[in-house]
Amino acid sequence: MAIRFDGRVAIVTGAGNGLGRAHALGLASRGAKVVVNDFGGARDGTGGSLTPAESVVEEIRKAGGTAMADGADVSKFGQVTAMVERATKEWGSVDLLCANAGILRDKSFGKMDVADFAKVLDVHLVGTFYCCKAVWDGMRERNYGRIVLTTSSSGLFGNFGQANYGAAKAGMVGLMNVLAEEGRKNNVRVNTISPTAATRMTEELLPPQALALMKPEAITPAVEYLLSEDAPTRTIMGAGAGSFAVIKIIETEGV
């Protein structure tokens, strides 16, 4: 049976672009009310005044779905809790969380300073902790929650220039392992997905021929499964868009 999310409220972070946008559109098309989170401002040079999150909300509404935009910076706990409070006030609960916001600051380790390391950890790992923390008690009290964390093959195998990103993504797997166990008896299921798709994060790493095959939308069904009623828990899922998944990208000098 097709997956549906009617009556469910979802937060997708980093949903103004790429994977998060595709996931937000997918969840809304299947009946979820979606908080489209992205801290990005209006794009320069487009002449438009909408933020990326607001444009995605427009897309969802045009397709008949329900969504609200939220500009919280996931690395600020106060902003994250305010987002969760807003959603709960408006729609009653937060049932689904897709933690997807992210940045890159690639540099070979010799050139990477403490700020480059801390900033990436702050958005990916600490930000994910904040998002999970903000929805956790509500999910456990209502005996329903589905959380999917976007991780990366970089966190499992490592990529050149990504000591910060790889450490953050490996940390997210560690977080998932514990939350999955601690949430189990309250029907809160937690998984990670390690996607390979063409996004702003991969466009500098992969050749154009590969990118052309790798639409973010192709990852969304895997995310929908991990957020569904029948989701497993404590899974590290890999998902590839196109005819192949890139398992390992490493030796790129020059960062």
Give the residue numbers annotated as catalytic, written as ranges: 165
180 or 205: CB nearest ligand ADP: 205
The answer to whether 9 touches 93, Cβ cutoff 8 Å, is yes
Q: What is the C-alpha to C-alpha distance for residues 54 and 76, in angstroms, rounded to an integer?
A: 20
4 or 200: CB nearest ligand ADP: 200
Measured at CB, which residue is nearest to ligand ADP?
18
3-state secondary structure of 147: strand
Burial (CB count within 10 angstroms: exposed 0-12, middle 13-18, buried 19+), residue 207: exposed
Look up residue 14 and give its DSSP letter.
T
User: Quick one: how far is CA 134 from the chain centroid?
Assistant: 15
Direct distance between the N- and C-terminal alpha carbons of the chain, in angstroms, rounded to an integer: 46
Burial (CB count within 10 angstroms: exposed 0-12, middle 13-18, buried 19+), residue 142: middle
84 or 201: CB nearest ligand ADP: 201
The count of residues in the chain is 255
Q: What is the C-alpha to C-alpha distance for residues 97 and 78, in angstroms, rounded to an integer?
A: 17
Q: What is the closest distance, in whole angstroms, from the C-beta atom of residue 115 to ligand ADP in the complex?
A: 15
User: Quick one: how far is CA 171 from the chain centroid?
Assistant: 15
φ, ψ for residue 114 (rounded to 5)? -60, -35
183 or 198: CB nearest ligand ADP: 198
Q: What is the closest distance, in whole angstroms, from the C-beta atom of residue 63 to ligand ADP in the complex?
A: 20
144 or 206: CB nearest ligand ADP: 206
Q: Point out which residues bind ligand ADP (CB under 6 A).
A: 13-14, 16-20, 37-40, 52, 73-75, 100-103, 123, 127, 199-201
